[in-house]
Structure 1
């Protein structure tokens, strides 16, 4: 078991090694669903939930497959758990909030292929986290993902009101903003190592 403290794990996952702004994982929903703040926060909540479930399942799967001496099956098992969890989240959101389901559109089922979620399972396994450490890591990563979505969505909403040249509107300005946010988050590097 890893001996890192829980606050250190949380801050590292959320700020220092933010999955979107430091590792550039989960860029598809970061750019695709970050047009409005409320949609970005809801997508972040869905991703955080899937990360937590995937983290719990990954801990159990790793323990079981290590016991069975079959670690080569971990990746496929992680992917199956993530896909199943996303299907449940998609059905839940469709039932509870049809407008949110339509606002998230194709990006909701794409959570299945969100590399940030698979990275949570793989990173926690490689770092040798215990169960509680793995949950804190997943929560930090999910909240960091939500924070990145919220920040970029707020900036994009403000830019809609600005008089920007036609050639930099849309994806170009979103990528420039993502780069600036990434550089800002580099300021957290070395905070907890």
Structure 2
């Protein structure tokens, strides 16, 4: 249990997807202009990563991994080369279900995403989390904790950035820093702050 807790904190803070690995910066920057949209994106990322990473762990372990077919007398079968296609398919299906649910029950949130909600299908942070799961040989409980932690870490980062950008709307910024300029600067400063967690974990 302690190991799962440490893995959760590591996924949230030490290995934060947008601020440590710089994955998913397209939606991270585009949908952080308004706090409400940022909260919606964070919740969507948490749901999608919390579902797809453990689900893909089961699929990979039971079907795709080398030796997964040994119980059928085919120990040499290795379908791991299909991992990327399979993971993207699972992610696409999960995003489609989320999109349908938001459109049905939360139309205002659905409208605020615009074209960026379908783009979660090819969101590199989500795919990266699934690939990290395979590379690190996570068990199913570890994959579930890592998925929720990674999504929550993304949510914390994008909500923080959204809140700061909302406060800076009325600030007298130099012309060159308005819009994406200040967003990149803020993201860089937040990244430096989150890098301190990695130093703490290493010490």
TM-score bracket, shorter-length normalisation:
over 0.9
Residue deviations 1:145-180 (CA, integer Å, cap 9, x gap) = 000101100110011021112221001110011101
Q: Which residue of 2 aligns with 1:174?
A: 183
The equivalent residue for 1:16 is: 14
1:183 aligns with 2:192: yes
Q: Tell me whether 1:161 sits opposite 2:170 in the alignment.
A: yes
1:82 to 66, 87, 91: 91
What RMSD, in angstroms, separates the aligned Cα atoms of the two structures? 1.4
Match among 112, 121, 127 for residue 112 of structure 1: 121
Give the secondary structure class of the aligned counterpart of 2:146. Answer: helix
Structure 1 position 24, deviation (Å): 0.2
Aligned to 2:40: 42
The answer for unaligned runs of 5 or more in structure 1 is none
Pairing 1:100–2:99 present: no
User: Any stretches of 5+ residues in structure 2 without a counterpart?
Assistant: 70-77
TM-score (norm 1): 0.95
SS in structure 1 opposite 2:199? coil
2:52 matched residue in structure 1: 54
Give the superposition deviation at 1:4. 8.2
Moved more, 6-15 or 62-71: 62-71
Aligned 8 A contact 1:61 1:74 in 2: no
What is the total number of aligned residue pairs between the two structures?
Answer: 191
User: Larger Cα Rg: Structure 1 or Structure 2?
Assistant: 2
TM-score with structure 2 length normalisation?
0.90
**Displaced runs of 4 or more, over 6 A:** none
Counterpart CA distance in 1 for 2:86 and 2:187 is 32
